[in-house]
């Protein structure tokens, strides 16, 4: 069993990665590029995929998560499909190891609440992968609001538009657009404003891909959100964007107005006369848009394991975003505003 977080001093870490799909393989490459890493061992259910990554990067593999845990690790990164997130966090916590895990932790409150109890009992570090908290633009927006340069926040606008929908099998198990896609927006809005979302009025429709309806899901979504400080936010999302992957946050205050995600690769074009159109390709997917943020969140996790300190994104933060997503689901179904307190009255602390 590894020492507690913060007791490694300058020693290099032995990290295990569970899951070697697209994001898991990216995390392996990122870890190998960081200082303070002695080794990275991969565990992947697909033996051929594990062997391919091991051959490409020269990393050892483990046959099962249990085998991985027995390798004398200092921390574990979890990049499995969502249904395995909670069991893997629990396995790692029971071994006394710090864990980094991709979002969402779970699709229901009972699962995440039981997990929080188990992790707190184990006393281990868990960081959840809401990478927008590490994106330079979102960090700057957070600083502008917290520092007062924006003035009093009046309204915010958020957008997350996928270029094309994931595979149908993925959508079938995703929990729906609010728990899968927009849970990032709910977390980002809480992070940037430092406020809680206290009311949600959401709707959705199937506009392009009929099979979404077979899974009680939608490929277009909107929501109006009320914040604890009184400001409002407007959210839009689609599973189809002909120009590319479009993620934005705009904040309008009494002193300033700022935008995140508006640059030369933003997949939106102006129709104003004389405005030059982007000369480089738009973002094709979330990895292109948020690569630096993904790298930064893992670097923060490694630093926390080595030096100690609180998690950069706790299970409680993940729970708060899930509660809002569940409120959005209920609002869409019942066609009325829903307070997250209806879903879970337990208060949370904004990070």
Contact 282, 244 (CB under 8 A): yes
Q: Looking at residues 56-65, what average pLDDT do you find?
A: 96
The pLDDT value given to residue 349:
47
CATH fold group of domain 13-124? Rossmann fold (3.40.50)
pLDDT at 8: 54
Does the N-terminal peptide bond of residue 104 adopt cis geometry, omega within 30 degrees of 0?
yes
Hey, where are the domains in the chain? Answer: 13-124, 147-288
- Mean pLDDT on 46-71: 95
- Other C-beta atoms lying within 10 Å of the C-beta of residue 136: 11
**What is the CATH number assigned to the segment(s) 147-288?**
3.30.360.10
Confidence at 277, pLDDT banded by 50, 70, 90: confident
- Summarize pLDDT for 229-267 with one digit per residue, the tens: 999 999 999 999 999 999 999 999 999 999 999 999 999
Would you say residue 62 has pLDDT above 90?
yes
What is the structure's pLDDT at 59? 96
Task: Provide mean pLDDT across the span 287-314.
Answer: 97
| Of residues 123, 128, 127, the one with CA closest to residue 1 | 123
**Mean model confidence pLDDT for the chain:** 94
Element of type H or E holding 302? helix 286-307
pLDDT single digits (tens) 24-46: 999 999 999 999 999 999 999 99
Whether the CB-CB separation of 72 and 66 falls below 8 Å is answered with no
Mean pLDDT of 181-201: 98
Residues 152-170 have a mean pLDDT of 97
The answer to whether residues 210 and 165 touch, using CB atoms and an 8 Å cutoff, is no
**For 2-11, how does the pLDDT look when each residue is reduced to its tens digit (9 = 90+)?**
334 455 555 7
With a pLDDT cut of 90, the percent of the chain lying above it is 93
Q: Is 267 buried (19+), middle (13-18) or exposed (0-12) by CB count in 10 A?
A: buried
């Amino acid at each position: 069993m590894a020492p507690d977080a913060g007791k490694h001093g300058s020693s290099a870490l032995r990290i295990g990665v569970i899951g070697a799909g697209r994001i898991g393989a990216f995390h392996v490459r990122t870890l190998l590029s960081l200082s303070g890493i002695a080794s990275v061992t991969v565990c992947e259910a697909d033996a051929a995929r594990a062997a391919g990554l091991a051959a490409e990067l020269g990393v050892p593999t483990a046959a099962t998560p249990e085998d991985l845990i027995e390798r004398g690790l200092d921390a574990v990164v979890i990049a499995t499909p969502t249904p395995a997130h909670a069991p893997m966090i629990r396995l790692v916590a029971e071994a006394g190891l710090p864990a980094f895990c991709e979002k969402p932790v779970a699709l229901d409150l009972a699962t995440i609440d039981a997990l929080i109890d188990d992790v707190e009992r184990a006393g281990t570090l868990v960081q959840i992968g809401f990478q927008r908290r590490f994106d330079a633009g979102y960090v700057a927006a957070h600083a502008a609001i917290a520092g007062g340069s924006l003035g009093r926040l009046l309204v915010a606008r958020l957008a997350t538009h996928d270029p094309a929908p994931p595979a149908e099998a993925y959508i079938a198990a995703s929990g729906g657009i609010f728990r899968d896609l927009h849970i990032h927006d709910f977390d980002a809005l809480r992070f940037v404003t430092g406020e809680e979302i206290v009311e949600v009025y959401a709707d959705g429709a199937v506009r392009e891909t009929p099979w979404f309806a077979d899974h009680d899901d939608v490929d277009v979504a909107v929501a109006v959100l009320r914040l604890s400080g009184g400001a409002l936010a407007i959210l839009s999302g689609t599973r189809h964007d002909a120009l590319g992957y479009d993620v934005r946050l705009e904040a309008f205050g009494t002193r300033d107005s700022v935008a995140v995600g508006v640059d030369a690769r933003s997949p939106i074009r102006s129709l104003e006369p004389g405005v030059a159109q982007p000369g480089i390709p738009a973002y094709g997917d979330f990895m292109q848009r948020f690569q630096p943020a993904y790298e930064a969140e893992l670097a923060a996790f490694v630093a926390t394991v080595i030096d100690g300190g609180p998690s950069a994104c706790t299970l409680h933060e993940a729970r708060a975003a899930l509660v809002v997503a569940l409120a959005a689901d209920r609002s869409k179904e019942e066609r009325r505003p829903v307070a997250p307190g209806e879903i879970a009255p337990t208060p949370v602390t904004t990070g």
